[in-house]
Amino acid sequence: MKFVKRIVLPFITSISLLSAPAALAKDYKMALGDAAGGTQWELGTKFAELLDEKSKGKLKVNLFPNGQLGNEQDTVNNASLGLLDFSVLAINNVTPFSPTVGLLTMPYVILSPEEAKSLTQGKIGEELVKNTVRDANVRIVGWAYSGFRVLTNSKRPIKSLKDLKGLVIRVPRNEIMMSTYQAWGVNPTPMAWSETFTGLQLGVVDGQDNPYITIDAMKFNEVQKYVTNIRYIFSIEPLIVSESVFQSQKPEVQAMILEAGKEATEHSYKFLLESEEKIKRSLIAKGMEIHTPVNAEKEWIDLAKKKVWPKFYDSIGGKAKLDEALATLGRKAH
Ligand code: MLT
């Protein structure tokens, strides 16, 4: 009798470990640089809901908004080391770790939400996903589309580059964005995203740029009055998973993560189209003034293309890569 027990019990236990759905159970952590309510939050919560649904409640994702798990660039480092599962952050904060994604922040390359979608979901997007795995040990599994980054400041209306001179503008630690402001004649101040609200509030910096939805989620209207409707960068915010964490999952879990990421990406696109205009109107109602650059932004566009594009050909994979992106978008090589 004793003998049977000893054999049967381990046998039963090992069968249940292999086959029980409980073996899938896991609680993941997801960092968000922004506050709840913006495009990062929409993508993250949708992804969490889908993963929960697909795994029949076994896979949970807990969201930590507002930079609680570190500033956006730190979250790439932590995910790269396998210390963090997921993060949603602006693509410009991935570029320092995987320079070819800089293609998506080259000024005036993406000119509409449709173009953002077609670049990220086509052949070029697939290549960028592979490159970030190779360079940074993180995998992009979804994209949030956040709208054009508009310029805000607390001092005065800006309609031309002349008006911009003398203002202290915060930028992320991103070479392409810093060079763009330099091309426009100002020396910007690089500052982590998590420090930006306080920097604006204390007057360490006068202005910054981010999409309407982000300005609203971060309550920047409380510390900024003037908006200039520039369209130099369309903000794209990837959902990344640590490649070490991803590779340690069972194939069925990997498939659920990829599917949930894809479906959450579609949701993010719809959310942008449905809510950006509404949010813009609510910012006006809260006291923000919106200005449009004179001459359809021509002086801003000409300087950025002439001075910034050639400087970053090498880091994004060569001039041919930019031409390929433009061709994908139905525009001529430059
Ligand atoms: C930044 O400006 O650093 C980011 O684009 C902010 C964000 O992630 O929303």
pLDDT tens for each residue of 247-260? 999 999 999 999 99
pLDDT at 57: 97
Mean pLDDT, 10 residues at a time, the chain of 334 residues: 34 38 80 97 98 98 97 97 98 97 98 98 97 98 98 98 98 97 97 97 98 98 98 98 98 98 98 98 98 96 98 97 96 81
Strand-strand pairing, 189-190 and 170-171: parallel
CA distances from residue 271 to 46, 274, 277, 296 in whole angstroms, order as listed: 11, 5, 11, 27
Pair of tokens at residue 266: 């579609």
For residues 192 and 177, give the distance between their C-alpha atoms in angstroms, rounded to a whole number: 13
Atom of ligand 1 nearest to the CA of 90: 8
Contacts of 330 (CB under 8 A, 6+ apart): none
Question: How far is C-alpha 74 from the geometric centre of its chain's CA atoms?
Answer: 14
Other beta carbons within 10 Å of 95: 27
Residue 201 Cα to ligand 1 middle (Å) = 17
Contact 50, 105 (CB under 8 A): no
Ligand 1 atom at shortest distance from the alpha carbon of 146: 9
Here the tokens at position 208 are 């910054």
Q: Residue with the nearest Cα to atom 5 of ligand 1?
A: 90
Tally: H helices and E strands in the chain = 14, 11
What is the set of domains in the chain, with CATH numbers?
2-146+236-275 (3.40.190.170), 150-233+284-312 (3.40.190.170)
The DSSP result for 120-136, as a single string, is HHSHHHHHHHHHHHHHH
Of 150, 151, 193, 240, best ligand 1 pocket probe by most atoms within 8 Å of the beta carbon = 193
Pick from 308, 288, 310, 53: nearest CA to 150: 288
Atom of ligand 1 nearest to the CA of 34: 9
Taking the CA of residue 171 as reference, the ligand 1 atom at the shortest distance is: 2
Q: Nearest CA to 307 among 181, 150, 190?
A: 181
Q: Within 6 Å (CB) of ligand 1, which residues are found?
A: 33-34, 72, 89-90, 92-93, 172, 193, 210, 214
**Which residues in the chain belong to E strands, given as ranges?**
26-32, 59-64, 86-88, 138-148, 150-153, 170-171, 189-190, 207-210, 226-228, 234-242, 289-291
